[in-house]
Amino acid sequence: MPRLILWDIDHTLIDTRGVGRELSAAAFLQTTGQVMREQAKIDGITEPVIFRETAKLHGLTTDRTDFERFARALTEEHLKRTAHLRERGHALPGAAAALDALDAVEIRQAVVSGNIRPVSEIKLQVFGLDRHIRWELGAYGEDNDSRAELVKLALRRANTTAEDAVLIGDTPADVEGAHVNGVRVIAVASGRSDEAALRNAGAEVVLSDLRDAELLVKLVQGESE
């Protein structure tokens, strides 16, 4: 029985339906003084990389201090606009039941996300998906630019081996980050990557969504693949 689930957030558990980009744009303006005309690739990418590459698209060179200012502004924007996030975004089908079902079989659940930790917490709290998450065991965008390093850090914080963990995410980057560390993956085609792309990335199991909580638990336990 695996002892740890590592959850991705965006397009795995929730969909902000464009609100996340709006809040990033507001924080970008506060940090750089420039309107965010375009945004760098975001799927599977950590927040520091998204900020740095987005800044480059605007002719800007940034450093860690700039990112930390951006991270503070991004947190403030999420706090100010939680009602808007709740109104426009939503928990994905089956997400709440999946979290409950895994908790019922006493598997620890943490987050590995490119989001910074405060934003990760706000996003799941807004949609009522935070109650089973062990935040101190997770790893977040501010911890490292590399998703693979985030997985490694989460394993260390949880004092868990790769064999005792399963990552659940929606992008090929999630699959790659887990596999670099020897962690099994259950991929969910609820984001921009379809089932074929996730299988091609090497995911052991691919689901269309999280609606079948009983099946998910069996897959996590390795009982049905």
54-70 mean pLDDT: 98
Average pLDDT across the chain, whole number: 97
Closest CA to 158 of 1, 8, 2: 2
pTM: 0.96
Predicted pLDDT at 222:
87
Residue 98 is given by DSSP the state H
Predicted pLDDT at 225:
53
178-216 pLDDT tens trace:
999 999 999 999 999 999 999 999 999 999 999 999 999
136-180 pLDDT tens trace:
999 999 999 999 999 999 999 999 999 999 999 999 999 999 999
Say what percent of the chain tops pLDDT 90.
96
Is residue 2 very low, low, confident or very high in pLDDT (cuts 50, 70, 90)?
confident
Helix (H, G, I), strand (E, B) or coil at 206: strand
